[in-house]
Amino acid sequence: MKIQENSTRDLLAEAAEWRLISLLFDCPSNDWLKQVANLANPVRDKKLKRAAKAAQKEASEGLFHSIFGPGGPAPGREVSYRGWVQPGYMLAELNSFYDAFSYNPTTSEVPDHVAVETGFVAYLRLKELYALENGDSESAILTSRASITFVDDHISKYAQRLSKLLAASGINYLKLAGAALYERVGPDKDKSKQIFLPVLDEEDESAFECGGTTI
């Protein structure tokens, strides 16, 4: 019983931390600042708390697009860091992951954006917690393995590079968010070199409005 209580408590903390990371990488529209501040309260990670606090002063839609948009110093899409992967195939794989776990984030970002992918990990942590609370160990194990696979196959492919780019951006809250992400993901286990593409051409990038509200 004690092991399960510790597991559920840890999962809840991890879910909150991953969700805050997801928010910090999302477009700061509508009540974004309030959501970030509220979510930072229960989070124990000091780096993330500092990031949330810095975001209250630094974050804006214009800044977000200047950093993550086309030609920006730190592209926010996985496809930008994986030139050897067919974008269509990768997006289909991501959508298969999301559909399998009924993940439907309320955001205007594309499926391979860091905000969407990190939000998926937070979602999986909550799904695993729910399964444990209901005594469904099989589903809990399945969800846990899925989160590990997803991080290894997708987020780890760009976390280190993105963290380094954000460290040089001069934007403190994004620098801290990038560092927090890399601390959780670590280096890519695949030793093959990744190809970095600064130009994104997969989607229509002409519209820069932040549509919808984050969850």
Q: What is the pLDDT of residues 27-53, one digit of tens each?
A: 998 899 999 999 999 899 999 999 999
Q: How far apart are CA 44 and CA 144, in angstroms?
A: 22
Q: What is the pLDDT of residues 128-161, one digit of tens each?
A: 999 999 999 999 999 999 999 999 999 999 999 9
What letter would DSSP give residue 113? Answer: B
Q: Provide the residue ranges of all domains of the chain, joining segments of one domain with +.
A: 2-185
Q: What is the pLDDT of residues 173-198, one digit of tens each?
A: 999 999 999 999 999 987 554 444 44
Q: In terms of DSSP H, where are the helices of 25-136?
A: 32-40, 46-58, 61-68, 87-100, 114-133
Return the CATH architecture of domain 2-185. Orthogonal Bundle (1.10)
Q: How far apart are CA 77 and CA 202, in angstroms?
A: 10
- Report whether 136 contacts 15 (CB < 8 A): no
Beta-ladder partners of 113: 77
Q: What is the pLDDT of residues 65-123, one digit of tens each?
A: 999 988 899 999 999 998 777 889 999 999 999 999 999 988 889 999 999 999 999 99
Q: How far apart are CA 99 and CA 119, in angstroms?
A: 14
Query: Which one is predicted more confidently, 167 or 83?
Result: 167
Q: How far apart are CA 149 and CA 156, in angstroms?
A: 10
Phi, psi of 23 (to 5 degrees): -60, -40
Query: What is residue 211's predicted lDDT score, i.e. its pLDDT?
Result: 56
